[in-house]
């Protein structure tokens, strides 16, 4: 096997199509198919299930992909050393909730860019379950997870900081003056929520579970892809919102929003990566910077 075959394998795995992989690599489709067949013959096992026009990784292919991604990073490190430049460089794919990128990590990212200008960070937002799966598949380098701890095979999870999740409303809301809010007080409220996810315990899922446990089943929801949209609609009095305290801290201080008398949900923010992934100098620098930043906040 050679790096050309492995690179083709990685692209086909990402695109789930020989045709799209051929277009990206600027190869004939027959060349892509031939490289994969040669690789499968050498290894003695199929790496893809051929499903009509698409392909899906077999169990063996899924297990091999993170190792192939690690080989590429080792190759990149070798080239850097050969050029006599030990400064971290390259691209890191980082998963994180929008709330953490905008309100928790922005200062750390500014400092990181100044120290390591040759490292390009590519952020992907989305649900924590999606990020855990991407880490397992080798499609992501590291991820920030804001959810109740979930044991996931093959991942290293490092606790960073606890986040308080608050129920908030604009000050003129009838709920704002209540000294104690019971679940049934929320039954007819309009809830402003980030889009739901599956496969984990996000703060939305935990909050909804609390209401269900109390036999309260709200029917008025507005869903948004952005926590900023949720916050601005709450300020405008459209409804009540469940959001991380770090997102609404300024608005609480300015009395644009008030925290309702509802028990805060406390969730850890964790940094996660695949235990089998090659940790490049760029990834080492990023993890070290995150730890240093969190240490300064304590």
What is the spatial distance between Cα 265 and Cα 167, in angstroms, rounded to a whole number? 9
- Give mean pLDDT in consecutive 10-residue pieces for the chain, a chain of 298 residues: 86 89 89 90 91 86 85 74 71 90 89 92 89 88 91 89 94 91 90 77 88 87 90 94 93 95 92 87 92 80
Q: Which CATH class is domain 3-66?
A: mainly alpha
Residue holding tokens 């089998």?
A: 276
> What does the alpha-carbon distance between residue 138 and residue 66 come to, in Å, rounded to a whole number?
4
pLDDT tens-digit series, residues 93-108 = 999 988 888 888 888 9
Instruction: For strands 258-259 and 155-169, give the pairing.
Output: antiparallel
Task: Return the pLDDT at 294.
Answer: 87
132 phi/psi in degrees, rounded to 5: -60, -40
Residue ranges of the domains in the chain?
3-66, 71-161+268-297, 164-266
Looking at 3.30.420.40, 3.40.190.10, 3.40.1390.20, 3.30.2130.30, the CATH number of the domain 71-161+268-297 comes to 3.40.190.10
Is the domain spanning 164-266 CATH 3.30.1360.40? The answer is no
CA separation for the pair 28, 176 (Å, rounded): 64
Residue 267's CB is within 10 A of a number of other CB atoms, namely: 21
Q: Which residues have a Cβ under 8 Å from the Cβ of 292 and sit 6 or more positions away?
A: none
State residue 84's pLDDT score: 55
The model's pLDDT over 238-282, given as tens digits with 9 standing for 90+, comes to 999 999 999 999 999 999 999 999 999 999 999 999 988 878 888
Same fold, 71-161+268-297 and 164-266: yes
DSSP 4-17: HHHHHHHHHHHHT-
Q: Would you say the pTM of this structure is higher than 0.85?
A: no
């Amino acid at each position: 096997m050679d790096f050309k075959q492995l690179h083709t394998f990685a692209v086909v795995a990402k695109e789930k199509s020989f045709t799209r992989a051929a277009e990206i690599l600027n190869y004939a489709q027959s060349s892509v198919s031939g490289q994969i067949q040669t690789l499968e013959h050498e290894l003695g096992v199929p790496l893809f299930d051929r499903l009509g026009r698409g392909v899906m990784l077999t169990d063996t292919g899924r297990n091999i992909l993170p190792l192939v991604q690690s080989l590429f990073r080792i190759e990149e490190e070798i080239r850097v050393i050969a050029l006599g430049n030990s400064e971290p460089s390259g691209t890191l794919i980082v998963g994180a909730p929008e709330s953490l990128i905008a309100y928790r990590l922005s200062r750390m990212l500014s400092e990181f860019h100044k120290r390591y200008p040759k490292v390009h960070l590519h952020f992907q937002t989305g649900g924590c379950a999606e990020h855990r799966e991407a880490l397992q598949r080798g499609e992501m380098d590291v991820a920030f997870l804001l959810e109740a701890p979930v044991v996931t095979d093959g991942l290293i999870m490092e606790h960073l900081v606890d986040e308080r999740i608050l129920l908030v409303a604009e000050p003129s809301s009838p709920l704002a003056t209540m000294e104690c809010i019971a679940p049934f007080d929320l039954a007819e409220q309009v809830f402003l929520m980030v889009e739901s996810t599956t496969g984990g315990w996000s703060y939305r899922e935990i909050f909804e579970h609390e209401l269900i446990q109390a036999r309260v089943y709200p029917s008025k929801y507005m869903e948004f892809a952005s926590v900023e949209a949720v916050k601005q609609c709450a300020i405008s009095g459209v409804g009540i919102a469940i959001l991380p305290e770090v997102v609404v801290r300024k608005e609480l201080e300015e009395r644009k929003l008030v925290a309702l008398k509802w028990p805060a949900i406390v969730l850890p923010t964790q940094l996660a990566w695949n235990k089998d992934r090659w940790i490049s100098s760029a990834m080492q620098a990023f993890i070290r910077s995150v730890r240093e930043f969190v240490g300064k906040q304590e």
